[in-house]
Amino acid sequence: MSEIQPLRVEDAMVTRTIRIQHDANMYRAAEVVALSRVSDLMVVGEDDKFIGVLSEGDILRAALPDTEEIVAEGGSLDTAFGIFLKKGKNLSELPVLPFVITEPIVLDPQDHVAKATTVMIDLNIRLLPVVKDGKLVGTISRADVCQAVVGNL
């Protein structure tokens, strides 16, 4: 019986990742999310130095009104939506950096795919950054793992 070879993250990851520069504004981030159809942007500095992750959820949460704002404006769903739109517009010129998760879970290219899978399933994460020597070298998603595992059967 042949020995099963370990499947490494580098064997399944995507190297052409959707990324945004750390000095971009929220309008650019929302634009990249909409155009690329990804839910997580990898945020990088100079020389692809990995800074963190900005998710579409982070962008939406920043625009969502809190209960006090809604009550202060009358408490209706229409009022809440109006506040949401106003806050979203006010976000557009703000820098992305304050909204970035700067200490996300990251993987090394040499990590076993089983580690990536376990983290993604246990923590309900769909995409993880792959970092080597402080630089973003790729991402791995649940779909990437599915393709790699099924392709190795």
Going from the N-terminus, what domains does the chain have, and what CATH number goes with each? 9-151 (3.10.580.10)
Closest-CA residue to 140 (of 103, 113, 100, 102): 113
Model pLDDT, residue 101? 95
Q: State the burial class of residue 116 (Cβ atoms within 10 Å of its Cβ: 0-12, 13-18, 19+).
A: buried
Q: Residue 99 is encoded by which pair of tokens?
A: 């909204």
Name the 3-class secondary structure at 132: strand
**Cα-to-chain-centroid distance, residue 91:** 18
Q: Is the pLDDT of residue 1 over 60?
A: no
Percent of the chain with pLDDT over 70: 97
User: Is residue 14 within 8 Å of 138, Cβ to Cβ?
Assistant: yes
Distance CA 38, CA 71 (A): 34
Instruction: Look up residue 111 and give its DSSP letter.
Output: S
115 φ/ψ angles, rounded to the nearest 5 degrees: -65, -45
User: Is residue 13 within 8 Å of 116, Cβ to Cβ?
Assistant: no
Closest-CA residue to 130 (of 30, 63, 120, 90): 120
Q: Residue 107 is encoded by which pair of tokens?
A: 């993987």
- Kindly report the pTM of this predicted structure: 0.84
Q: Is the pLDDT of residue 83 over 60?
A: yes
Distance CA 99, CA 27 (A): 13
Model pLDDT, residue 71? 75
Instruction: Dump pLDDT digits (tens) for 22-67.
Output: 999 999 999 999 999 988 999 999 988 999 999 999 988 888 877 7
What is the band of 152 on the pLDDT scale with cuts at 50, 70, 90?
low
